[in-house]
Amino acid sequence: MQAKLLSDNILIKVEEAQEVKVNGIILSDSAQDNQQLQEGKVLLVGPGKMNSEGKDLPMHLQVGDIVVFEKYTGREIKENNEKYTLVKQESVLMIKL
């Protein structure tokens, strides 16, 4: 997707949940999802935002980072049969190393 983000917004390509089997039984997403977290790859990063004093606050995320964030945070965007999530930097809980 080609776009330019504003403020401290981040566009994430969410990793699809992998099928989990227990004793040959496929668990539904709701059965697997006990922590309500999602993982994805950062595709686009905005320039950051200004604080109340007019000082620029830098972004801590970079394109390519693998991040974990709360499942129901942000907005889902669909383009060309692909799903993306648009979130604020403060919604990201961690960066995987």
Determine if the pTM surpasses 0.85.
no
CA 38 vs. chain centroid, Å, equals 7
Domains of the chain, first to last:
9-96 (2.30.33.40)
pLDDT at 95 over 60: yes
Look at the block and give the residue holding tokens 């309500």: 36
- Region for 78 from its dihedrals, namely left if φ exceeds 0, alpha if ψ lies in -120 to 50, beta otherwise: beta
What letters, b where the CB count within 10 A reaches 16 and e where it falls short, cover 4-15? Answer: eeeebbbbbebe
Q: Residue 1: its pLDDT value, please?
A: 77
What are the tens digits of pLDDT across the range 12-61?
Answer: 999 876 555 556 666 555 555 556 889 999 999 999 999 999 999 989 99
65-85 per-position pLDDT tens digit? 999 999 889 999 999 999 999
Q: What is the pLDDT, as a whole number, of residue 2?
A: 84
Query: What integer pLDDT is reported at residue 88 of this predicted model?
Result: 96
For residue 67 the two structure tokens come to 């991040």
